């Protein structure tokens, strides 16, 4: 795996002869999704599974810049049970904060059990990401909006959330699954159309990363809101 210098908080470690990526566990001894915990010289690493997390897949597939770090403030749409959000929580640390929006109360209960209970920097918001006016716990602007809700109108939802909560020149990471948007169109056409929607709304596309072999017909788009 190629080493990149602008991925602060991501650790490349050798496990059973293979290079893997990991984050330093903010809550030593506690797993979130059955991931392996690797102790090494007083530090506990949490392996970050690219088959379970699109952000991990994107890093392995060549994401050039991780647009957040220690102390960042993040709005995460579609937090689910916290697989990816928990690794972001490791990276931003105690000084950072991640607001976790999840529509399903059942899924959110798991998020509470696995993450919120242990991690002070994760704030749950059980709400539809289409109704951002109902996120009462968010204060100030965020550095990054991460969106992974697998909905046909998710780019529009991401844009509306960015316009409301993202600071100028802030970052958007948008996971796009072509089948969630239009099963009848070629994935490459769907990806282009979603990029164009972002550009028309004042975003600059920084990078588009295909996530195969970890996720079929998915890309992660990194854009900046101008
Ligand atoms: C693909 S999963 C997210 C996986 C997660 N990002 C991860 O990597 O750990 C999509 C999640 O978005 C949630 N979701 C779908 N529509 C939503 C909406 N309108 N608002 C908020 N969450 C939504 C689903 O309940 C589901 O948990």
Question: What's residue 59's pLDDT?
Answer: 97
- Can you tell me which atom of ligand 1 is nearest the CA of 81? 9
Using omega within 30 degrees of 0 as the cis cutoff, is the peptide bond preceding 8 cis?
Answer: no
- Can you tell me which atom of ligand 1 is nearest the CA of 154? 19
Cα of 130 from ligand 1 centre, angstroms = 12
Q: What is the mean pLDDT of residues 137-150?
A: 96
Of 56, 80, 155, the residue with max ligand 1 atoms within 8 A of its CB, to mutate for a pocket test, comes to 80
Ligand 1 pocket, CB under 6 A: 53-54, 77-78, 80, 83-84, 101-104, 107, 128-130, 148-151
How are beta strands 218-225 and 122-126 bridged, if at all? unpaired
- pLDDT at 5 > cutoff 90: no
Cα of 184 from ligand 1 centre, angstroms = 22
Cα of 87 from ligand 1 centre, angstroms = 16
* Residue 184 confidence class, pLDDT cut points 50, 70, 90: very high
Q: What is the mean pLDDT of residues 62-83?
A: 98
Cα of 78 from ligand 1 centre, angstroms = 3
Instruction: Tell me which fold the domain 54-225 belongs to.
Output: Rossmann fold (3.40.50)
**pTM recorded for the entire structure:** 0.97
Question: Which residue from 138, 139, 135, 156 is spatially nearest to 147, judged by alpha carbons?
Answer: 156
* Residue 9 confidence class, pLDDT cut points 50, 70, 90: very high
Q: Does domain 11-47 have CATH number 3.30.200?
A: yes
Cα of 107 from ligand 1 centre, angstroms = 9
1 vs 97, more confident = 97
Cα of 79 from ligand 1 centre, angstroms = 6
Percent of the chain with pLDDT over 90: 96
Of 57, 103, 157, the residue with max ligand 1 atoms within 8 A of its CB, to mutate for a pocket test, comes to 103
Q: Count the Cβ atoms, other than its own, within 10 Å of residue 205.
A: 15
- pLDDT at 2 > cutoff 60: no
Distance CA 175, CA 210 (A): 10
Residue identifier of the C-alpha nearest atom 27 of ligand 1: 80
- Can you tell me which atom of ligand 1 is nearest the CA of 52? 8
- Can you tell me which atom of ligand 1 is nearest the CA of 53? 8
- Per-position DSSP letters for 149-181, written without gaps between them: ---TTHHHHHHHHHHHHEEEEEEEEEEEEHHHH
User: In the chain, what are the domain boundaries?
Assistant: 11-47, 54-225
pLDDT tens sequence across 98-128: 999 999 999 999 999 999 999 999 999 999 9
Question: What's residue 102's pLDDT?
Answer: 98
Cα of 2 from ligand 1 centre, angstroms = 30
Please, which residues bridge with residue 194 across strands? none
Question: What's residue 6's pLDDT?
Answer: 81
């Amino acid at each position: 795996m190629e080493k990149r210098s602008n991925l602060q908080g991501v650790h490349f470690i050798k496990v059973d002869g293979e290079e893997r990526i990991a984050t330093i566990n903010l809550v030593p001894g506690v797993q979130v999704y059955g991931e392996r915990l690797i102790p090494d010289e007083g530090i506990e690493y949490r392996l970050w599974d690219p088959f379970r997390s699109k952000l991990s897949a994107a890093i392995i597939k060549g994401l050039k810049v991780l647009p957040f770090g220690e102390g960042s403030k993040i709005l995460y749409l579609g937090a689910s049970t916290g697989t990816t959000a928990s690794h972001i929580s490791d990276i931003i640390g105690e000084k950072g904060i991640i607001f976790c929006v999840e529509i399903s109360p059942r899924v959110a209960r798991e998020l509470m059990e696995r993450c919120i209970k242990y991690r002070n920097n994760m704030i749950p918001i059980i709400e539809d990401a289409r109704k951002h006016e109902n996120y009462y716990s968010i204060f100030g602007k965020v550095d990054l909006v991460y969106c992974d809700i697998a909905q046909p109108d998710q780019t529009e939802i991401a844009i509306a959330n960015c316009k409301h909560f993202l600071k100028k020149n802030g970052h958007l990471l948008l996971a796009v699954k072509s089948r969630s948007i239009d099963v009848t169109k070629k994935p490459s056409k769907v990806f282009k159309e979603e990029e164009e929607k972002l550009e028309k709304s004042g975003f600059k596309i920084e990078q588009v990363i295909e996530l195969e072999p970890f996720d079929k017909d998915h890309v992660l788009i990194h854009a900046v809101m101008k």
